[in-house]
Homo-oligomer: A and B are copies of this chain.
Amino acid sequence: MTVPHLKWVKYKYYKIPNLGMELRILHINLEDKSLKEEKIDEKTVRKFIGGVGIGAMILLEKAPKGIDPLSPDNPFIVMTGPATGTPFPLSGRHHIIAKSPLTGAFGDANSGGNFGAMLRRTGYDGLVFYKASDEPVYLTIMDENNDGVAEVKFRDAKHLWGKGVWYTEEKIRHDLEVGSSGSIMSIGPAGENLSFISCVMNDENRAAGRTGLGAVMGSKRLKAVYVKPFLLPPIYDKEAFNKVCNEKRKKLAENDITGKALPTYGTEVVTNVMNSLGNYPTHNFQKGVFPTADKISGETLKDTYLVGTKGCWGCTVRCARLVKIDEPPYQLDYEGAEYEGVWALGGDCGIDDMKAINKAYAIINDMGLDVISYGATVACAMELYEKGKIPHEKLHGMKLNFGNAQAIMDLAWMAGYRTGFGDDIALGSKRLAEKYGMPELAMQSKGLELPAYDPRGMQGMGLAYATSNRGGCHLRAYTPAYEAFGAPYKVDPYTTEGKAKLVIDQQNFFASTVDSLVSCKFLTFALGPEDFVDLVRPLTGWDWTVEELMETGERIYNLERVFCAREGTGTKDELPKRLTDEPQPEGAAKGYVVKLDEMLKEYYELRGWKNGIPTKEKLIQLGLEDYTPYIA
Enumerate chain A interface residues (CB-CB to B < 8 A): 162-164, 166-167, 189, 193, 324-326, 328-334, 356, 362, 366, 392, 396-399, 404-406, 413-414, 417-420, 423
Contacts and interface: CB of A to CB of B under 8 A. Distances in A.
Contacts of A406: 328-331
A397 B307 CA distance: 13
Given A167-B419, A406-B328, A420-B167, A397 B333 contact: yes
Contact of A162 (B328, B330, B418): B418
A396 B166 contact: yes
Given A396-B166, A418-B163, A419-B163, A405 B333 contact: no
A419 B414 CA distance: 14
A423 B164 CA distance: 11
A259 B167 CA distance: 50
Contact of A332 (B164, B396, B418, B419): B396
Protomer copies: 2
A166 B166 CA distance: 27
A329 B329 contact: yes
Given A366-B420, A406-B331, A420-B366, A397 B325 contact: yes
Contacts of A193: 162
Contacts of A166: 396, 419-420
14 contacts: A162-B419, A163-B417, A163-B418, A163-B419, A164-B419, A164-B420, A166-B420, A189-B419, A328-B406, A329-B406, A332-B396, A333-B396, A333-B397, A334-B397
Contacts of A167: 419-420, 423
Contact of A399 (B331, B396, B420): B331
Contacts of A404: 328-329, 331
Contacts of A420: 164, 166-167, 366
A326 B162 contact: no
Contacts of A164: 414, 417, 419-420
A417 B326 CA distance: 25
A536 to B, nearest CB: 40
A420 to B, nearest CB: 5
A23 to B, nearest CB: 36
Contact of A331 (B332, B362, B397, B414): B397
Contact of A326 (B366, B399, B419): B399
Give the most central of A167, A362, A413: most B CB within 10 Å.
A413
Given A162-B417, A166-B396, A418-B162, A329 B423 contact: no
Contacts of A334: 396-397
A325 B164 CA distance: 30
Contacts of A329: 329, 356, 404-406
A546 B417 CA distance: 52
Contacts of A330: 406
